[in-house]
Amino acid sequence: MATRLVQINMKAQDDTALGRFWAEALGWGVDSEGPGVTNLEPVGFAYPDPTAVCIDLVARPEPKTGKNRVHVDLATTSKAHQEELVARLKGLGATLADVGQGDVPWTVMADPEGNEFCVLEPRPVYRGTGPIAAVVVDCADPREMARFWDEAIDWTLHEVADDHATMRSAQGVGPYLEFVRTPDTKSGWNRVHLDISPYRGDDPAAEKARLLALGATDAGVDPSAISWTVLADLEGNEFCLLSPR
């Protein structure tokens, strides 16, 4: 059995407006599975596919407080492209953000609801990832997080160090999943989290049991009103185990 990372879930006070921003930012299409949910994926995309990690925006009334522990890094192909992208994103409503990054070659920004993201300088490793270079998770112990997620999903571990770890789809396509050591501690529910899915024909209950055996914990969400399972990883970051697709 195995799962794969299929999307990130982002809470939004206005999922429609924030969805428009991210669709324009990424050049993706917009859809909706119901009121309060906006789905973003590449135009012509056949979900789920490792060439992209999609985005679901779900309406929630709570405002953002504090820095998100999960964010996306956007890829660029040249310094000029990076500058053009930053300018275009500002025109869409993004702002520059200071998260204590200091003098770095990438640009830290925030979307219209304050969710942080980075516009990276051109890096050869991210050629061919699509507009999202990486989904980045802040953590205290990248090595342990990489150990858990390496067993939880069928992605390939590329690099592990004390301060960072990186993974990518076994097919070598799409964005990376990265764990970066940060001094911040988790407080409250994550506004952005990972969604993973078993493969068609797999048993969700067995997959939940496997993840719990690896060190995941039950996040304590009442399962009676939802069709997915909410768990938490080794550092308490919530993630959803979706139905097989």
pLDDT, tens digit (0-9, with 9 covering 90-100), for 50-107: 999 999 999 999 989 889 999 999 999 999 999 999 999 999 999 999 999 999 999 9
Tens digits of per-residue pLDDT, 203-225?
Answer: 999 999 999 999 999 998 887 77
CA distance 74 to 130: 9
What is the predicted pLDDT for the residue at 33?
A: 82
Judged against a pLDDT cut of 90, whether residue 124 lies above it is answered with yes
Whole-angstrom Cα distance, residue 242 to residue 105?
Answer: 37
pLDDT at res. 225: 77
For residues 109-132, b (16+ Cβ closer than 10 Å) or e, as one string?
bbbbbbbbbbbbeebeebeebbbb
Prediction pTM value: 0.96
Could you tell me which residues are beta bridge partners of residue 177?
135, 167
Residue 222's SS3 state is coil
Please, which residues bridge with residue 107 across strands?
Answer: 119
Distance of alpha carbon 35 from alpha carbon 33, whole angstroms:
7
Question: Mean pLDDT over residues 146-154, rounded?
Answer: 97
User: pLDDT of 133-142, one tens digit each?
Assistant: 999 999 999 9
Per-residue DSSP letters for 55-116? EEEEE-SSPP-S--SEEEEE--SSHHHHHHHHHHHHHHT-EE--SS--S-SSEEEE-TT--E
pLDDT at 58: 96
Per-residue confidence band for 227, with pLDDT thresholds at 50, 70 and 90 = confident
Average pLDDT, the chain: 95
- Examine the pLDDT at 167 and tell me if it is beyond 80: yes
Element (H, E) at 142: helix 142-152
Q: Is the pLDDT of residue 122 over 90?
A: yes
- Torsional sign, CA 77, 80, 86, 89: negative
Query: What is the rounded distance in angstroms from the CA atom of residue 90 to the CA atom of residue 231?
Result: 35
**pLDDT at residue 207, as a whole number:** 96
Instruction: State pLDDT tens for residues 10-50.
Output: 999 999 999 999 999 999 999 988 899 999 999 999 999 99
User: Residue 1: what pLDDT?
Assistant: 64
Model pLDDT, residue 140? 97
Mean pLDDT of 171-176: 97
Nearest Cα neighbor of 135 from 70, 40, 49 is: 70
